Structure 1
Amino acid sequence: MIDIDPNSNGLPGIDQLQTIVGSVMTIGLILAVLALIISSVTSGYGANSSNPHLAARGKLGVLVSCGAAILCGAAVTLVNFFWNVGQTV
């Protein structure tokens, strides 16, 4: 039976890579919030100016930005979940 676990000490630069990934996740969340604000303004402007196409695009942007925030926030949990599922195969 072979039992191999991830080794966080095996390669140089792992700590820096973890810092970079955490920073990218933070930037992704900040951009998702910015996209949510812009999409909300676009949707409101489209609804108030009787432009249904612009309002629909704004609503779609709100959904996409919320989905991006969910993926950024849940990325580590999703990877860990599928890692554990993969270990049971």
Structure 2
Amino acid sequence: MDIFPDLGAVGGAGELRAIVGALLMYVLVFAVLAILICAVTWAIASSSGNYQSSQRARAGLFVAIGAAVLAGAGVTWMNFLLGVGQQL
């Protein structure tokens, strides 16, 4: 029996790539803004001796860096999966 899925019947890979790319671009822009704000807050709080705010700004900086890394990896992963799906 030759039963295979009809992958040509599922369309919209180009639209999916555009939508996800646009959403992840916004995530990257907001992550970079959060990195800048947290880094400045961390520097000011550390220099003024406010250690609690310094720790919170440092945690926010690490979260923003993690979000930027995950968003960048998400674009790469989606492009890989769409490429593999077109080769099947």
Q: Give the alignment's TM-score, normalised by structure 1.
A: 0.72
Counterpart check, 1:61 vs 2:60 = yes
Report what 2:44 is aligned to: 45
Q: Distance in 2 between matches of 1:49 and 1:8?
A: 62
- After superposition, the CA RMSD in angstroms is 2.7
Give the structure with the higher percent helix: 2
Q: Does the residue aligned with 2:16 lie in a helix, a strand or coil?
A: helix
**Contact 1:40–1:62 (8 Å) recurs in 2:** yes
**Which segments of 5 or more consecutive residues in structure 2 lack a partner in the other structure?**
none
Corresponding position of 1:10: 10
CA 1:73 to 1:2, structure 2 compared with 1: closer, same or farther past 3 Å? Answer: farther
% of aligned pairs identical? 35
How many residues align? The count is: 80
Query: 1:76, 1:29 → 2: CA distance?
Result: 11
Summarize deviations over 1:38-77 as a string: whole Å, max 9, x none.
Answer: 0001101111111000111111111111100110011144
Q: Tell me, which stretches of 5 or more residues in structure 1 are unaligned?
A: 85-89
Higher relative contact order (CA 8 A, sep 6+): 2
